[in-house]
Amino acid sequence: MNHYRLVGLLLHVSCFYTCTCLGPFGMMYPKDSESRTVKLLDGMWNFRVDDSSNRNRGFEEKWYSVPLRQTGEVIPMPVPSSYNDITQEKRIRDFVGWAWYDREFFLPQDWTSKRVVLRVDSAHYNAIVWVNSVELVRHEGGHLPFEGEITRWDIPIVLGGNNRLTIAINNTLSPTTLPPGTIQYQHDINRYPEGYFVQNLQMDFFNYAGLHRHIQLYTTPKTYVQDVIIATTLQGLNGLVKYTVSTSGQPGNVQLAVEIIDRDGRVVGHSNQFQDTITVGDGHFWWPYTMNSSSPGYLYTFEMNLTLLSSGVSDVYRQQFGIREVKVTDKQLLINDRPFYCHGVAKHEDSDIRGKGLDFALIAKDFNLLKWLGANCFRTSHYPYAEEIMDMADQQGIVVINESPGVGIRKANNFGNLSLAHHLKVMDEMYRRDKNRPAVILWSVANEPDTTHDNSIYYFKTLLSHVRFIDSTRPVTFVANSDFSSEKVAQYTDIICLNHYNAWYQDCSHTELIQRQLTYDLRQWYAKFRKPIMITEYGADTIEGFHQDPSIVFTEEFQVEFMTEYHKTFDNLRHEFLVGEMVWNFADFMTAQGITRAFGNRKGIFTRQRRPKTSAHLLRSRYQAMINNTSTVRNRHTGR
């Protein structure tokens, strides 16, 4: 391998394991309040890629030290978006290496007495941020937020004037990133230019890159609420809300007032302790959609008012949460002590033009389609989704299996100590961001890793144990596609999640074999591990408008026939140990180019433009029938 080229692509990556967001606290989403102001920096930014042979010119010439337009030609680039799908240039769509953004922003003069923080909601994959040419923060990982305080002593900000923000991102995937990948250099100069390389992926979706979500400034007082951890349990008709508030001030110097406020604005609980358990009498529990039609997604507000005693300056922050409890037995998944059966979809956060860029219209459309289907859950395949998507799930009662970017962990060099350390850090960041979300009922640490070799045992046993340690309130799993006979890690999970593609990737087109093979496999999995099982993927590629009778693969008729055979097996087993089914996929999505994918993965029941295929109507009929059979409830609080 050409080591010099690789170093240029991965410059500074060895430093990325340090970040400002350490420990169990932090990453509160920016919100306006009496004491806080939020300013979005979304819009058109200046943009250029560093297409030098070593991808290192930007650092050699210190592009961060001057306005980006002075370093060469720039183009406008929307933030948030994926830069791959914005231009008409193939070299930008397929670019691998460092891409550079900058813009100016104004800081009001009246922010003088405030602490000012810059928050990046998602930058794929490695990122370095400068403010007025001074480095602020670095981060590794493409789907979770990071931040830095710009009012620290060494950042030369201008209050009452313009400032410059520069961000460099690198989408290179290596054996230790999540997801992992490799850089392959071609050395035959008769066939390839000198230094020619390609990015090899170990996942089956496009490696979108860019500033995918909001870039925000927010203010707090100098003494402020850092975070709150909320854990809820049920006690009859009452809800127990156990919390811990972290602040920048020390007890004795600050005073805290906590209130729990219901949907109608009534205070139903209060305390002045930094750590306490509040009983909410006759509580409205958070129920999944279709499980209790009277109050799915019921949310309370947890209000914190922190006052600095010496000055009387206060910080106010409000966090929504739901009262619910998740348990797992050897055959059931329980929410609020009632069996829950997940009938939903696996999704990709993928849109037609903006790639993985945040799109409010698409979020609203997708949740309307989920309700139209009658789906009550989805899996964030295969990375944490935007917080605005998670907000909608909380509010509408859609259960979420929250998955890390650990997809494609299959090669020996993906299981080393460096990979494990990074994976643990990602799970910490996921927990910090989503720990108080009632919709999140299950952590998934990986999708389809190779868990048939001994080196996977230590890796995943450590990872699963760590997630249980930081969060004892939710079950933990990974999504498997191995054979039950050779599986070595599933014993350490709480729920067995399986991807099955009988009659597609094996015995292709032979739908008559699905029931026999699937039933045998699932019964063997249960007999070996004695844990509830959820099917997290099953599906067949289908091109909208392709029809054939009798059916053949890639037609809409085949997808319906394929799914129908799976449904028969699900119905036979869901009163035993099967606790969920998720079709792959909610919508078609883009993949890397190759001869096995015709313009991306076509397993969606909707197209990328959200047009329903015939299979969507089949699934709607099935899920609506499930709702009609289970929607009658006796008590609006307990669901019994």
Q: What is the CATH number of the domain that holds 535?
A: 3.20.20.80
Residue whose token pair is 């190779």: 450
For residue 355, what is the DSSP state?
B
Cβ atoms of 80 and 24 within 8 Å: the answer is no
Phi and psi angles of residue 123, each rounded to the nearest 5 degrees, phi first: -140, 120
Pairing of strands 399-403, 440-447: parallel
| pLDDT at res. 638 | 41
Q: What is the CATH number of the domain that holds 50?
A: 2.60.120.260
**Domain assignment of residue 6, yes or no:** no
**Is the domain of 301 the same as that of 349?**
no
Structural domain of 148 = 37-171+207-220
**Domain assignment of residue 5, yes or no:** no
The 3-state DSSP class for residue 237 equals: coil
Q: Model confidence over 175-184: pLDDT tens digits?
A: 999 999 999 9
* Helix residue spans in 357-513 (DSSP H): 360-373, 387-396, 417-434, 455-470
**Is the domain of 399 the same as that of 466?**
yes
Give, in order, the Cα–Cα distances in Å from 387 to each of 27, 119, 214, 393, 640.
Answer: 11, 13, 10, 10, 32
**Domain assignment of residue 541, yes or no:** yes
E strands in 436-549: 440-447, 476-480, 496-499, 533-537
The question of whether 73 is a catalytic residue gets the answer no
> Of 321, 352, 384, which residue constitutes the final position of a domain?
321
Separation between Cα atoms, residue 99 and residue 208, nearest integer Å: 12
**Is the domain of 312 the same as that of 413?**
no
**Domain assignment of residue 185, yes or no:** no
Q: What is the CATH number of the domain that holds 262?
A: 2.60.40.10
Name the residue among 122, 625, 612 with its Cα closest to residue 365: 612
Give, in order, the Cα–Cα distances in Å from 376 to each of 72, 232, 442.
Answer: 50, 21, 14
**Is the domain of 216 the same as that of 75?**
yes
For the question of whether the overall pTM of this predicted structure is more than 0.85, the answer is yes
> Of 273, 291, 321, which residue constitutes the final position of a domain?
321
> Of 296, 321, 346, which residue constitutes the final position of a domain?
321
| pLDDT at res. 84 | 92
**Domain assignment of residue 267, yes or no:** yes
Instruction: Report the 10 Å Cβ neighbour count for 81.
Output: 24
SS (H, E, C) 53-103: CCCCHHHHCCHHHCCHHHCCCCEEEEECCCHHHCCCCHHHHCCCCEEEEEE
**Is the domain of 287 the same as that of 348?**
no
Q: For residue 556, what are the contacts with CB-CB under 8 A and spacing of at least 6?
A: 542, 544, 545, 546, 547, 613, 614, 615
**Is the domain of 159 the same as that of 255?**
no
| pLDDT at res. 26 | 74
pLDDT < 50 stretches in the chain: 1-8, 11-23, 631-640
Name the residue among 330, 336, 378, 401 with its Cα closest to residue 576: 330
**Domain assignment of residue 17, yes or no:** no
**Domain assignment of residue 610, yes or no:** yes
Q: Model confidence over 168-219: pLDDT tens digits?
A: 999 999 999 999 999 999 999 999 998 888 998 888 888 989 999 999 999 9
**Is the domain of 293 the same as that of 375?**
no
**Is the domain of 480 the same as that of 397?**
yes
| pLDDT at res. 5 | 37
**Domain assignment of residue 194, yes or no:** no
CA dihedral (478, 479, 480, 484) positive or negative: positive
**Is the domain of 260 the same as that of 282?**
yes
**Is the domain of 238 the same as that of 351?**
no
| pLDDT at res. 128 | 98
**Is the domain of 215 the same as that of 233?**
no
**Is the domain of 578 the same as that of 471?**
yes
Q: Which of 147, 387, 448, 581 is catalytic?
A: 448
Total domains in the chain come to: 3
Separation between Cα atoms, residue 414 and residue 28, nearest integer Å: 31
